[in-house]
Structure 1
């Protein structure tokens, strides 16, 4: 009989030992989802508030980046139906003709025909497109034509605006888009790991508490295999003590996990990095729009002067002809 009791105790202990932390967490999680778990350990209100703030900040990063990442896409303001291929082709042909005219040997002429043109690629922004169109249009008119002069001045101003926009984009990408993207890939994932540790610790703690309640209600701590054998009071007391110690240990681990998660979340929420990037973005936009205002004011004064001169000349010619 003693041998049989020893065998039953061995089987029960082996089964309990094989009940891994992962299995315990999974079992507790499933019970909670099915509404079969009692007395779920509640997280402190301050902790839940920190979690809510972290989640809100995460959404802020995602929502802002969904828009601001476009600053890294040069043609974001370039009309999709605008075609400049003819202009580009003309520039390439001109470059090849120039290279052929400079060739001193047949080999150099052959190289000029087959090698790609060295002309730099023009920025693909709407302001640069206006600049190119105005410059090309100006060259179609006599240099003495006031409209030609006005178009050339517009071309210069538009190029300045386009360059200012590219400078703005560079600052925003480097000081907002990249740091915020790094936050999503590193600090937020770091915090998520700590939060998951809290959840894992809670599930293990609640699973141990459930087994403890089950024993107190007479159901036993194990799956019940040992219950078919006669129970030894001393062994039962040892199991109760072991389970009590397990619950206390898991409570300590749960508290430590929460403290670490609170520290990580607090650090993430208090970092000045997001606001620093936002400040850089606003400052870059201000500089861009100020540069655009300055360029447009200059070209407006110049074109207005050309317009006044042309209208005066036009009126004078009308008066003379009459």
Structure 2
């Protein structure tokens, strides 16, 4: 009989403490499933201030994503001149042909290696739309006599368009360096760090609520594991008191961990929301755009005055020739 009673006492303690034997992952998973199925009671609510911070962080995250989905184009040189693909293919073909020719002329292994690693042609012009206009105008100018006013006008347009293209490249470099890269870094580091801390808060809450649920279950059953195999055996009051105290201590510990996790997340979210980096990048972008457009205005004003002068001279000469002929 004593053996049976001892076995019963051990089994009762085992079932009583079964909940605390779960691993943290199992406890979190079990609590999460119960909440999803609507079977969890008294879910610990996050403070309103905390939820507001989460909403602001989520909004800022969407701002980064939406702005970067557009501004990353500044890192793509030919974004304003898609037809440059044909020019790029031509350049590639010319480069391959040049390398093949250099290899065929190599007399030693060293010369062959040099032919493979050395550029076979001078770097091509940038593939912006303004540079494309500059190349077309310059090539067209060379088809006409140097004395032709149209040739002079085309050459002036080529120079102005080249200046505009260079100003656009400068703008792009500033925007990529001071907005695109920092904002991308924010998505890859601070936002991910905040997401990790927020998940730790959720994990801490699930563990806390799982422990509270076990505590409520013990209270409802008057201690012990409730109905089941363990209930047919005599309970040891000392063991039950120790189990209650252990579970109470576990709940208090998990409450402390939950609070610490929230404090860490609040600190990280507040720092992310208050950093001046995003607005600093936006300011740099607008300033770069202003300088680019101002440079374009200056270049176009100069070329407009020059071409207008050429036009007036040509029209005056044209009228004079007609008057003379008549």
Instruction: Provide TM-score, normalisation by structure 2.
Output: 0.87
User: What is the distance in 1 between the residues matched to 2:192 and 2:205?
Assistant: 20
Q: Does the Cα contact within 8 Å between 2:225 and 2:231 map onto a contact in 1?
A: no
CA pair 112-308 structure 1, distance change in 2 beyond 3 A? farther
Superposed CA offset, 1:295-320 (max 9, x none): 00000000000000000000000001
Superposed CA offset, 1:183-222 (max 9, x none): 0010011111111111011001100111111111147458
CA pair 67-122 structure 1, distance change in 2 beyond 3 A? same
Shift of 1:115: 7.7
User: What is the distance in 1 between the residues matched to 2:91 and 2:214?
Assistant: 77
User: What is the distance in 1 between the residues matched to 2:170 and 2:314?
Assistant: 36
Q: Does the Cα contact within 8 Å between 1:24 and 1:207 map onto a contact in 2?
A: yes
Superposed CA offset, 1:75-127 (max 9, x none): 11113387447986999899999999999999999999998532212101111
Shift of 1:18: 3.2
Shift of 1:132: 0.4
Instruction: Provide TM-score, normalisation by structure 1.
Output: 0.88
User: What is the distance in 2 between the residues matched to 1:277 and 1:320?
Assistant: 64
User: What is the distance in 2 between the residues matched to 1:265 and 1:109?
Assistant: 58
Q: Does the Cα contact within 8 Å between 1:126 and 1:162 map onto a contact in 2?
A: yes
Q: Helix, strand or coil: the match of 2:78? A: helix
Q: Helix, strand or coil: the match of 2:86? A: coil
Name the counterpart of 2:194. Answer: 191
RMSD: 4.0
User: What is the distance in 1 between the residues matched to 2:212 and 2:100?
Assistant: 86
Q: Does the Cα contact within 8 Å between 1:12 and 1:222 map onto a contact in 2?
A: no
Name the counterpart of 1:299. Answer: 303
Q: How many residue pairs get matched? A: 322
Q: Which runs of 5+ in 2 are unaligned?
A: none
Superposed CA offset, 1:28-64 (max 9, x none): 0000000000110000000000000001001111111
Of 142, 146, 149, the residue aligned with 2:149 is 146
CA pair 107-148 structure 1, distance change in 2 beyond 3 A? farther
Shift of 1:226: 2.9
CA pair 2-165 structure 1, distance change in 2 beyond 3 A? farther
Q: Which runs of 5+ in 1 are unaligned?
A: none
Shift of 1:232: 1.3
Q: Does the Cα contact within 8 Å between 1:212 and 1:221 map onto a contact in 2?
A: no
Q: Does the Cα contact within 8 Å between 1:138 and 1:152 map onto a contact in 2?
A: yes
CA pair 316-94 structure 1, distance change in 2 beyond 3 A? farther
Superposed CA offset, 1:112-166 (max 9, x none): 9998532212101111000000000000000000000000000000010000000
Q: Does the Cα contact within 8 Å between 2:9 and 2:234 map onto a contact in 1?
A: no
Q: Helix, strand or coil: the match of 1:188? A: helix
More displaced 10-residue stretch of structure 1: 194-203 or 232-241: 232-241
CA pair 293-13 structure 1, distance change in 2 beyond 3 A? farther
Q: Does the Cα contact within 8 Å between 2:141 and 2:152 map onto a contact in 1?
A: yes
Name the counterpart of 2:162. Answer: 159
CA pair 287-237 structure 1, distance change in 2 beyond 3 A? same
CA pair 12-129 structure 1, distance change in 2 beyond 3 A? farther
